């Protein structure tokens, strides 16, 4: 254990930014502004962590060697950030930024092609000059329909996969699910981890599954690696029981190659919360400080109001800096949030609140 911790600390000293000072210097670190193919430096730093994932025992020692989470301090920090306010002049910018970060979602058994087309139209043109959303998120069988609905707009198509939401299926089934979505044109894949395996301590099994799904995100032969669908890894944090487990899951997913880490499916009682999202943001900050690799974050479920969205944007800015304030690196997984953002946007421009009839019911 001592040797492994020494090796990790040596890597952190090499980066010049330790976890203790990462928040202070986050805005001074040079970061890419688009989702990267790893540069030489990042690849070298990642290679220095190869021993961590060389065996189940090494991965377990690394994950359990991460600093324990101060739950009281985390809750207090999240609560403090939640009290920050922004000026009216900045609120309009924040609302449009939040709209541009929304993954507009429909994941119901009653979904129809007509509903998905309507959602795509709304995502491309939310109304009143508002910017388009980041993506439309659907089940794999609706990807082709969603892609037609947003064609030429720049709005991405995201698809859940890997036996969403429970993740209870054999690996070949999960990989087929992913490949089907990618073949249909999905730009992004939202996978769920096997929480049973994770909570049982079978970390290498979860790691290898994420790696396998990442490989399944590749396009057919002939396409460039940059055309691969981006991978978001969902933890279902409401089922992970402890903050320490959320931190371990975050590092595990990032080591396995996640482009984004995501809180929840939106299908359980406890979804995204400010403390859990803050913890994941801090894990992303420390991972970037150690490896030079930038990873995105997506809180999902339970974020319904403009006030909530602004609190999360403040949290991102305070923890990671302005370079993460982009749909390339931060998303909201939501369905009802967009309507409230649009109503608040109209209030700022006209001085009047609109009723719920002003916006479409998704």
**What are the residue numbers of the active site?**
190, 262, 298
- Three-class secondary structure of residue 12 per DSSP: helix
- Three-class secondary structure of residue 24 per DSSP: helix
Enter the DSSP assignment of 70: -
Query: Are 18 and 285 spatial neighbours (Cβ–Cβ below 8 Å)?
Result: no
195 closest CA partner among 236, 244, 165, 251: 236
Q: Which residues contact 72 (CB under 8 A, 6 or more apart)?
A: none
Which residues face 288 on adjacent strands? none
How far is Cα 102 from Cα 125, in angstroms, rounded to an integer?
A: 13
How far is Cα 175 from Cα 10, in angstroms, rounded to an integer?
A: 37
Q: For residue 208, how far is the Cα from the chain centroid?
A: 19
How many helices (H) and strands (E) would you count in the chain?
Answer: 15, 8
Start-to-end CA span in the chain (Å): 52
4 closest CA partner among 53, 65, 79: 65
Quickly list DSSP for 222-259.
TS-GGGSPEEEEE--GGGS-SHHHHHHHHHHHHHHT-S
- Three-class secondary structure of residue 296 per DSSP: strand
Q: Give the max Cα distance, the chain.
A: 63
Quickly list DSSP for 351-362.
S-PPPGGGS---
Query: Are 189 and 164 spatial neighbours (Cβ–Cβ below 8 Å)?
Result: no
- Three-class secondary structure of residue 138 per DSSP: strand
How far is Cα 246 from Cα 153, in angstroms, rounded to an integer?
A: 35
């Amino acid at each position: 254990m001592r040797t492994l911790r020494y090796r990790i600390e040596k890597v952190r000293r090499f980066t010049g930014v330790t976890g203790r000072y990462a928040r202070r210097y986050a805005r001074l670190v040079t970061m890419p502004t688009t989702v990267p193919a790893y540069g030489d430096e990042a690849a070298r730093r990642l290679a220095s962590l190869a021993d961590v994932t060389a065996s189940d025992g090494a991965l377990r020692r690394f994950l359990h060697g991460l600093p324990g989470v101060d739950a009281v301090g985390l809750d207090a920090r999240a609560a403090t950030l939640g009290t920050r306010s922004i000026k009216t002049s900045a609120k309009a910018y924040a609302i449009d930024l939040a709209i541009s970060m929304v993954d507009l979602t429909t994941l119901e058994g009653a979904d129809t092609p007509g509903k998905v087309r309507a959602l795509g139209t709304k995502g491309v043109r939310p109304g009143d000059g508002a910017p388009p959303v980041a993506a439309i998120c659907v089940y794999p069988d609706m990807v082709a329909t969603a892609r037609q609905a947003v064609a030429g707009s720049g709005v991405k198509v995201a698809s859940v996969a890997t036996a969403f939401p429970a993740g209870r299926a054999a690996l070949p089934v999960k990989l087929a699910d992913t490949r089907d979505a990618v073949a249909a044109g999905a730009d992004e894949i939202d996978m769920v981890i096997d929480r049973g395996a994770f909570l049982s301590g079978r970390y290498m099994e979860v790691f290898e599954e994420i790696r396998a799904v990442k490989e399944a995100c590749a396009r057919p032969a002939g396409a460039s690696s940059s055309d691969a669908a981006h991978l978001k890894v969902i933890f279902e944090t409401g089922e992970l029981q402890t903050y320490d487990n959320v931190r371990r899951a975050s590092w595990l997913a990032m080591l396995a190659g996640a482009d984004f880490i995501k809180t929840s499916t939106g299908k359980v009682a406890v979804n995204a919360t400010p403390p859990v999202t803050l913890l994941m943001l801090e894990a992303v900050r420390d991972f970037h400080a150690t490896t030079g690799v930038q990873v995105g974050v997506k809180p999902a479920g339970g974020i319904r109001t403009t006030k909530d969205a602004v609190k999360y944007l403040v949290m991102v800015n305070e923890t990671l800096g302005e370079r993460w304030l982009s749909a390339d690196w931060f998303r909201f997984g939501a369905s009802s949030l967009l309507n409230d953002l649009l109503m608040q946007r109209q209030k700022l421009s006209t001085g009047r609140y609109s009723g719920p009839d002003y916006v479409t019911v998704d």
